[in-house]
Structure 1
Amino acid sequence: MLPEDPKTILVVDDTPGNIEVLGSILTPHFKVKVAMNGKVALKIAAQPEKPDLILLDVMMPDMDGYEVCRQLKADISTANIPIIFVTAKSEIQDEQIGFDLGAVDYLTKPISPPRVMARVKTQLALYDRARHLESIVEQRTQELQIAHIEVIRRLGKAAEFKDNETGMHVIRMSYFAKFLAQQLDLAHDWVELLYQAAPMHDIGKIGIPDAVLLKPGKLDLAEREIMEKHAEYGANIIGNSDVPVLKMAREIAIAHHERWDGSGYPNGLKGEQIPLSARIIAIADVFDALTCERPYKQAWSEERALGLLQEEAGKHFDPTLVPLFFNCLEQIRAVQQQFKDQAAE
């Protein structure tokens, strides 16, 4: 009788007698699948329910076992499945070829049932342990990534507290940016990276004096120059990291005040010279800043803010992105309702 959750063994051999012998040894303990040629073996191994181990004959017509092994190891979805060669070829050089291709063991014909069971059980135990360790590493990596993202969000909110005491702006505009990016034919991972990096866009505000940042009125020329330094401050705070989310956060921090027509700061970039991430953030950031209250301004109506986006398409903003932002209004309104500033409640 099979165990409750039996392991799956794929037996690959072009000789029915050999399959019958291996099947009689394995079927009382394992779920056995059979392939009589390499092509069928590759197809079975590629299925969602993958074998836990493969017993593979070497000498087969059309595609020998070595080539089957080579193709299995070249495919990321099957590369880790342990392979035991079962063959009449017993020369040392034959075994070396198999091990070089990635096989974990080598059984010679005629086979010994106790040896087959012992080798199979050993390799399955090793494979189970490897998968368990892999899952632990993956879990720890996910935990570190979550902690990493949370630190980025907290730093973004810390900067936002300087002129918005609830820090909700960075949450809202991060969602707005994500919604807009989803309107484009972009990889899911890139969109998530943008969403994670967005809260750091104004981290450079930490370096701006409160007298300038919180001034309840229009800034003069000198004050404007000080304020504009926050883009460079932000890039310097984030630094030149190789971590993808920090690399994107840096390009956003330094470029989200560049303008499509080249009149922005700090580098006067124009059009597609401006990173796409920064062009998306520019729209999300400005729209939320306009529609919420700040020490120096009253909140604009949605209609007025959208009107400005339309007017500035091709001047301040990427003209291809502005219409796509309008497609996201239903989602944007839901986020505005969920993440209101305290003063607005």
Structure 2
Amino acid sequence: MKLLLVDDNPSNLFMLGKLAQSSGIADVQSFRDPLQALDEARRTRFDLMIVDYMMPGIDGLALIAEIRRLPDYADVPIVMVTTVDQREICYAALEAGATDFLTKPVDMAEAKARLRNLALLREMQNKLRDRADWLQTEVRKATQERAGLEEEIILRLARAVERRDPAIGSHLLRVARTARELAEELGQSEQYCQDLYVAALMHDIGKIGLPDDLLNKPGAYTDDERRRMQAHTLIGGEILDGSRSRVIRLAAEIAETHHEAWDGSGYPRGLKEAATPLSGRIVAVADVFDALTSERPYKAAWSAEDAARYIADHAGRQFDPDVAKAFSLRYFRILRLGEAGAPFGTAA
């Protein structure tokens, strides 16, 4: 418990210091100059203050008002010392932020009881603050643990998709990393970028609902097979729909919309321009770039340069032009993402 005493009279300082020590307050700092006391309050967090009214430089009212403006001093008990006939000063002190009063001549028994009560009040305030800080830390830890568990579950679901469609390989991870790069370039918040990265891992979750003969067909699809394949967007949305998780709701949005096109020619709903959520527009670019640069049973891998040119050429038609521009600005960073998995332009 730290006590700050401010009084320009040395006799009063000595008397109040002894009073504080007899009340069980051992750590006492005394100042005759109120401005020096204010400077010390800026450096040290005091638990209790006793301030005289009549002082040179600034009076007790001004000192209390200045102290109340300091961080961490909103609820520190402050006692104003006045004379018996200074009732108007007492009212003004309350307005300035004083908690209690001692009147001159100071009654030692009364003052001791008041200081003890205020010290107990401050001790309870400190305990409550510490408890609140502890709870905040525990909530933060629990939130981080839940987020980590959520991400692990999503990664395992992504692996399940990879097992169902061997051609995917590292595609999901590369798309997620590319999507994060694009969101960062577009100026999205760190929280959104991280959520998008995790959610994009499930953009093809709907392929779990497709039959093996369709997923593993080596040649080109017939029109009917293509329609069946396109249904993976709706299946993915249904699998992820209705979650209380922010990330999984975002994943549902991506699963349904990452094959929509800027000009409305995409699927499953033919959404046009901003009717497709930003997450779907971002993953559309990331998904196409990786699909083009990956070898499939029915096609050879494109070079990264050719795939990047395709993105640029189709900006404003298949792709959101702002997202396509973000891709061009992050192109070399995106190429380096392949170093952490299968490189772009190789077999998936």
User: TM-score normalised to the size of structure 2?
Assistant: 0.72
- Correspondence list, 1:231-246, <5 A: 231-246=233-248
Q: Deviations over 1:141-175 (max 9, x none)?
A: 21111111221222123223322367421111111
Aligned to 2:27: 29
5+ residue gaps, structure 1, are: 1-6, 90-97
The code of the aligned residue for 2:277 comes to: P
Distance 1:251 1:323 in 2: 22
1:147 aligns with 2:159: no
Q: Which moved more, 1:306-315 or 1:172-181?
A: 306-315
- Percent of aligned pairs with the same residue? 34
Distance 1:239 1:204 in 2: 12
What is the Cα deviation at residue 196 of structure 1? 2.0
What is the Cα deviation at residue 325 of structure 1? 0.6
Q: Rate the CA distance shift 1:322–1:118 in 2: closer, same or farther, 3 A.
A: same
Q: Rate the CA distance shift 1:248–1:119 in 2: closer, same or farther, 3 A.
A: same
Q: Rate the CA distance shift 1:55–1:158 in 2: closer, same or farther, 3 A.
A: farther
Aligned to 1:207: 209
Distance 2:250 2:161 in 1: 18
Q: Is the 8 A contact 2:176 2:201 kept in 1?
A: yes
- Correspondence list, 1:54-93, <5 A: 83-84=76-77, 86=79
Q: Is the 8 A contact 1:23 1:32 kept in 2?
A: no
- Correspondence list, 1:99-114, <5 A: 109=102, 111-112=111-112, 113-114=115-116
Aligned to 1:187: 189
Aligned to 1:131: 133
What is the Cα deviation at residue 302 of structure 1? 0.7
Which one has a bigger Cα radius of gyration?
Answer: 2
1:169 aligns with 2:180: no
What is the Cα deviation at residue 109 of structure 1? 3.6
What is the Cα deviation at residue 213 of structure 1? 1.6
Aligned to 2:319: 317
Distance 1:36 1:234 in 2: 69
Distance 2:247 2:218 in 1: 34
5+ residue gaps, structure 2, are: 54-59, 83-93, 104-110
What is the Cα deviation at residue 54 of structure 1? 7.0
Q: Deviations over 1:240-259 (max 9, x none)?
A: 23432122111111111100
What is the Cα deviation at residue 338 of structure 1? 1.6
Distance 2:173 2:275 in 1: 27
Distance 1:205 1:239 in 2: 15
The code of the aligned residue for 2:214 comes to: V
Q: Deviations over 1:239-290 (max 9, x none)?
A: 1234321221111111111001101111111111111111111001111111
What is the Cα deviation at residue 176 of structure 1? 0.6
What is the Cα deviation at residue 235 of structure 1? 0.9
The code of the aligned residue for 1:180 comes to: L
Distance 2:298 2:50 in 1: 74
Aligned to 1:248: 250
User: Which SS does the other structure have where 2:305 is aligned?
Assistant: helix
Q: Rate the CA distance shift 1:131–1:340 in 2: closer, same or farther, 3 A.
A: same
Alignment RMSD: 4.2
Q: Which residue among 178, 181, 189 is the counterpart of 2:180?
A: 178
User: Which SS does the other structure have where 1:320 is aligned?
Assistant: helix
Q: Deviations over 1:104-135 (max 9, x none)?
A: xx655464344444443343233223322331
Q: Is the 8 A contact 2:281 2:320 kept in 1?
A: yes
Q: Is the 8 A contact 1:56 1:83 kept in 2?
A: no
Aligned to 2:278: 276
Q: Is the 8 A contact 1:171 1:199 kept in 2?
A: yes
Distance 2:337 2:320 in 1: 23
The code of the aligned residue for 2:317 comes to: K
Q: Deviations over 1:160-203 (max 9, x none)?
A: 33223674211111111111111122222222221121111111
Q: Is the 8 A contact 1:258 1:265 kept in 2?
A: yes
What is the Cα deviation at residue 301 of structure 1? 1.0
Aligned to 1:3: none
The code of the aligned residue for 1:277 comes to: S
Q: Is the 8 A contact 2:260 2:266 kept in 1?
A: yes
What is the Cα deviation at residue 52 of structure 1? 7.9
1:331 aligns with 2:329: no
What is the Cα deviation at residue 292 of structure 1? 1.6
Distance 1:52 1:248 in 2: 48
User: Which SS does the other structure have where 1:321 is aligned?
Assistant: helix
Q: Is the 8 A contact 1:156 1:203 kept in 2?
A: yes
Aligned to 1:223: 225
Q: Is the 8 A contact 2:34 2:63 kept in 1?
A: no
Distance 2:320 2:221 in 1: 26
Distance 2:30 2:287 in 1: 58
User: Which SS does the other structure have where 1:263 is aligned?
Assistant: coil
The code of the aligned residue for 2:324 comes to: V
Q: Rate the CA distance shift 1:331–1:117 in 2: closer, same or farther, 3 A.
A: same
Distance 2:19 2:67 in 1: 24
